[in-house]
Amino acid sequence: MTANNTDEIFAGSVGKGLDGVLGLEVVEAGPDRIVATMTITERHHQPFGIVHGGVYCAIGESVASMSAFLWLQDTGIGGTAVGVNNNTDFLRSVGSGTVTATSTPIHRGRRQQLWAVDMVEQDGKLLAKTQVRLQNIDAT
């Protein structure tokens, strides 16, 4: 899948919905990995001034879902994938800066996929780790 095809696939969807509210930006996309970034602001905080855990859950789900979708398109299977389980571990708190999320496939099968998403701060320290199981949905 070329970068242009990826841009066409995500045109009109990235930057809308929850991803748009969060400010999530895809900086690299392909069937084997997606890298996305988000600048943390006060709108991402919980009452104690650090990033709300739900933000990490949402980033993980979004990046894993995009990854699963691109893999289905690249293989010719088609269709889409929807999350059926999201497990996120919060490892380090942060109140500002840029979060970079990178997806890695664990399993990609006919019916389901399992993706890991690591979220790190600028110095590379791991902030959160998400594992998302997705159900492949036929195009019909």
CATH assignment of the domain containing 31: 3.10.129.10
Q: Which residues are catalytic?
A: 61
C-alpha 102/C-alpha 123 separation (Å) is: 15
| Domain annotation covers residue 80 | yes
Q: Which domain holds residue 17?
A: 1-90+129-139
| Domain annotation covers residue 96 | no
C-alpha 33/C-alpha 68 separation (Å) is: 9
pLDDT digit string (tens) for the chain, length 140 residues:
444 455 665 554 556 789 999 999 999 999 999 999 999 999 999 999 999 999 999 999 999 999 999 999 999 999 999 999 999 999 999 999 999 999 999 999 999 999 999 999 999 999 999 999 999 999 87
Judge contact between 48 and 108, C-beta under 8 A: no
For the chain, how many structural domains are there in total?
A: 1
pTM for this entry: 0.90
| Domain annotation covers residue 115 | no
